[in-house]
Amino acid sequence: MKKNKGFTLIELMLVVVIIATLAGLVIPRLAGRAEQSRVTAAKADILSNIPLALDLYELDNGTFPSTQQGLEALVEAPTSAPMPKNWNGPYLKKKPVDPWQNTYRYVSPGVHNTQDYDLYSIGKDATEGGNDDIGNWEE
């Protein structure tokens, strides 16, 4: 009697059905996570990463960059007033962009945070003032 080695067609079909069933259960749960992860990444930049660089800039120079200098002052030494006293950067490796590839917005002194600065992303819709904007003044 000859022994057959390998899988039968029915066994292979059963494995494919099991994998398809598992994929059908998992994929819908992961579908909405991409946008949620972008929002989380933007919040991390706005509440932690960029403020750390701004704080280092302020420690070195005595003030935050002006609105006109913007976040570019964290990458290259500003050439406009107020001139930094002791620019010791770059404080960031590249100009910060949000997960939707829009530049972060920076206003100093801030409208919402009048003591220092406003830092925000215009969100997925790429329009300022939308309900998807993420700012450092929100709780």
User: How high is the pLDDT of residue 98?
Assistant: 92
User: What is the rounded distance in angstroms from the CA atom of residue 132 to the CA atom of residue 43?
Assistant: 12
Parse the chain into domains and list their residue ranges.
37-135
Average confidence (pLDDT) over 92-96: 92
Tokens 């939707």 belong to 100
Model confidence at 32: pLDDT above 60: yes
Of 50, 58, 40, 36, the closest CA to residue 105 belongs to 50
Question: Residue 14: which residues within 8 A CB-CB, separation 6 or more?
Answer: none
User: How high is the pLDDT of residue 129?
Assistant: 77
Question: What confidence category does residue 3 fall into, taking pLDDT thresholds of 50, 70 and 90?
Answer: low
DSSP lists the bridge partners of residue 93 as none
User: How high is the pLDDT of residue 114?
Assistant: 85
User: How high is the pLDDT of residue 4?
Assistant: 65
Question: What confidence category does residue 66 fall into, taking pLDDT thresholds of 50, 70 and 90?
Answer: very high
In Å, what is the CA distance from 2 to each residue of 6, 8, 9, 11?
Answer: 13, 15, 19, 20
User: How high is the pLDDT of residue 2?
Assistant: 61
Q: What global pTM score does this model have?
A: 0.73
Any idea which architecture 37-135 has in CATH? 2-Layer Sandwich (3.30)
User: How high is the pLDDT of residue 100?
Assistant: 92
Please state whether beta strands 118-121 and 134-135 pair in parallel, antiparallel, or not at all (unpaired).
antiparallel
